[in-house]
Amino acid sequence: MEGIRSWISGMLSWKWCPTSQAQLEDAEKRMLAPLTSAVTSQMVDIGDGCQIRSISINSSQLDTSSHIPLVLVHGFGGGVGIWIKNLDELSRHRSVYAFDVLGFGRSSRPKFSDCPVKAEDQLVESIEKWRAELGLEKFVLLGHSLGAYLASAYAIKFPERVEHVVLAEPWGFPEQPLDAAERFARRVPMWVRMMVRVMEPFNPLAGIRAAGPWGPNLIVRFRSDIQAKYDTVFGDDTVVNYIYHCNAQTPSGESAFKAMTKSFGWARHPMIQRIHELDHSIPITMIYGSRTWMDISVSDKVKELRPYSYVDVKQIDKAGHHIYSDKSDEFNDIVIGICNNVHQDLHHSEQSGQ
């Protein structure tokens, strides 16, 4: 076993991945090319030599004092480009901001702590530094998967900045069942269990980098659904190319995620253990796809833990984990409705205070 791991480590240290920052930048441009709205693009300095890749839609044309901004936080392995089916529609009546989470996409890739709590805090603090640099006061915060976990952690720590938390297919909420390993062993063949054991010391997407020039083909072969999700926007390999270059770079964010997870992808510091710490006045909307592999029952526990707070759960029919692209129209309608309700509530509050 040690010999196999040493061989894999050697493969991963061999810099033969056909990628670069310039190629990632070009791939992002191709992903965002279909946008019809006004886009502001920048690298935001957050200190310690780090930058966060950020885009904003219609931020210079809309009165953000009367239209609460929307901030989007992507999931594991993603970047700003994955929102291409949402950005135009969501920004029709408000400014929308999206950024590459620190350690992912075109953002800086610093070294993260091996401690799950500290690694999470580094990520949350980077979001706050990004917010401060842009001068955003309050916003609706929407996160997908890992992004939903980070959005929750951010709202707990900085409640004064958040009007509403939208959790799309949230990762990291439930606690790991005591018999999780036994369930896994019963469901999968012996060879799969051996591969999981061999790859456990490595980052989740190490195989893509180890494959070198065959990395893009691995994505096409094993995740052909990714390209299909965007076939109404692109008729070529634009999406696969973007996902590859996002994840063929230095695996900084992956290392942070690995520190935050236990075996089989369970969170070491489950959000369900502290969601009650979120300010009771901040509403939560959880959105799932009907074909999700996430545990939707955790939403009932969130409601139980916040009995005097607004918690709404919505499900989109025939959508999987990537609900924002699987059923973008339905997803956009839900998010727009949430933002409109926030706007109306703020307007009524201002009138009542006069």
- What's 306-323 look like in SS3? CCCCCEEEEEECCCCCCH
Name the least confident of 26-30, 151-155, 238-242. 238-242
Taking the complete model, does pTM exceed 0.85, yes or no?
Answer: yes
- Bridge partner residues of 72 (DSSP): 98, 142
What is the pairing mode between strands 311-316 and 284-289? parallel
Q: Does the pLDDT at position 282 exceed 70?
A: yes
Structural contact between residues 324 and 80, judged by C-beta atoms closer than 8 angstroms: no
180 pLDDT band, cuts 50/70/90, is low
Residues 6+ apart with CB under 8 A from 179: none
Q: Could you tell me the domains of the chain?
A: 34-205+251-353 (3.40.50.1820)
Give the tokens for residue 241: 């190319």
Chain centroid to Cα 198, Å, comes to 27
Name the least confident of 63-77, 86-100, 316-330. 63-77
Q: Is 9 exposed, middle or buried (0-12, 13-18, 19+ CB in 10 A)?
A: middle
Q: Could you report the per-residue pLDDT of 90-138, keeping only the tens digit for each? A: 999 999 999 999 999 999 999 999 999 999 999 999 999 999 999 999 9
What CA–CA distance (Å, rounded) separates 46 from 124? 12
Percent of the chain with pLDDT over 70: 82
